[in-house]
Amino acid sequence: MNRDAAVLPLTGAMNCRDLGGYPTSEGQLIRTNAIFRSDRLSHLTEDDQEELASYGIRTVVDFRTSAEAHRDVSRLWPTVTTHAPLPIGDEIAQQTEFIDRIRSGEITSISVADVADSYIEMLSDSGHQFVSFLEIAADVDCWPLLFHCTAGKDRTGVAAALILELCGVERNLVLDDYELTNALRSERRIEQLKPSLHQAGVDIEAIRPALSAPRSAMDQTLTYLDTNHDGVEQFLLRNLGVHSDTIAALRINLLV
């Protein structure tokens, strides 16, 4: 499936794209020009802002902690009427940028399993934020909507997977959407960081899972929900308290 058309041609954000266009197992499609996902918005150029305004995006959901948001202030555009911070993450840990913690030697290795565990922990510890996000995403009055974090891969990746799974997109395509971050952002970002990481004596391969979107990390996360909670929908209903009306509205509004 060619996703090139879904990627927004921005200079200051590498991982901004329409979540729509994916087919479901029931033969429907995720509506386009409704919900977008992105990395940070602090480096947007004026042309980028005009591009985003041309889509009429009115709601921006920001999963970053307040420390991240203060460090990289979003450059929003005139059509945005609602900016909804739904911080996910350890506020104290995020006081120092993640990459600085790697350079300093505080973090020396992270495995794919570690990434999957962090996603499962995220869903448990910040479940209320994901509930709020799904309620906003299900409301057509909030559309077009864009949600993002810093890299647009972990918190944003989990949120995107929840929507796609709830709408009946086949698992392989959900994983494709998650993994697309590598081609759009992660590989370029790692190349940018290599000189300073080498200088700091960092073993890049030992921390690559943390800097990229390893397909198996999301696969392990969703398999965990399948095995232990009968899938994403039941986990959201039973464990996080998402209202069935929210899921119904998401499907009614987002599927065409």
Q: With beta carbons less than 8 A apart as the criterion, state whether 53 and 197 touch.
A: no
Distance of CA 104 to the CA centre of its chain: 26
- What's residue 104's pLDDT? 87
The angle, 0 to 180 degrees and rounded to 10, between the axes of the packed helices 155-166 and 127-137 is 60
The pair phi, psi for residue 7, each rounded to 5°, is -85, 130
| Rounded alpha-carbon distances, angstroms, from residue 113 to 169, 207, 221 | 24, 12, 9
Specify whether the CB–CB gap between 10 and 16 falls below 8 A: yes
Structure tokens at 67: 């420390």
- pTM to 2 decimals? 0.94
How much is the pLDDT for 72? 93
Q: What is the dihedral of CA 142, 143, 149, 150, to 10 degrees?
A: -130
The residues facing 37 across adjacent strands are 17, 147
Output the pLDDT for position 126: 96
pLDDT, position 255: 98
Give the pLDDT means over successive 10-residue stretches in the chain (256 positions): 82 97 96 97 98 98 94 97 94 69 88 95 96 98 97 96 98 97 91 89 90 96 98 98 98 98
pLDDT, position 134: 98
d(C-alpha 192, C-alpha 186), whole Å: 10
